[in-house]
Amino acid sequence: MGIAAGERIPEAGLMVMTPKGPAQRTSTDLLGTGRVVLFAVPGPFTPTCSARHLPGFSEQVGRFLDAGIDRIVCMAVQDVFVMDAWARAAGADDRIVMAADGNGDFTRTLGLELDARAFGLGFRSQRFAMLAEDGVVRHLLVDKPGEFRVSSAEHLLGKL
């Protein structure tokens, strides 16, 4: 069973791109302080992720900040170079932290992995969004496989 509202986010390593290159961060570094939105996608550069999920959060950054969100983190089971290239290609602004869960360790720890081997994609993250406050999950919104509804920026904004 996956993580649930009221539970503390587990510690795991993630990678982010910095001006000096790839850097290791922990889930606690990124999600453990303040009010943080984490949204995860099954695949950067895939149709729904690129056309709707990331753009929705990019377009709503100001509204999230106005609602008291301290940080927005986008995560995928992918390498840091792909996450960086996707952010640049999508015009994502630097107010969204692009975090790579290269081996899927954090995703597995959350219990939110997706078996996409039937599509040649291996194991990925389910599509989800969460609000965490000081490292504790307050809202967790997980889409059913193949759907994009509850993890959208607009839906999460309605929960704040």
Query: What phi and psi values does residue 123 have, to the nearest 5 degrees?
Result: -95, 130
Residue with the two structure tokens 């039937």: 118
CA angle 17, 142, 57 (to 5 degrees): 45
Where is 138: in which H helix or E strand?
A: strand 136-142
Given the residues 49, 80, 129, 156, the one annotated as active site = 49
Contact 126, 3 (CB under 8 A): no
From CA 108, how far away is CA 103, in angstroms rounded?
9
49 is catalytic: yes
Residue 150 to residues 12, 63, 65, 88, 117, Cα–Cα distance (Å): 25, 17, 20, 25, 24
Catalytic positions are 49
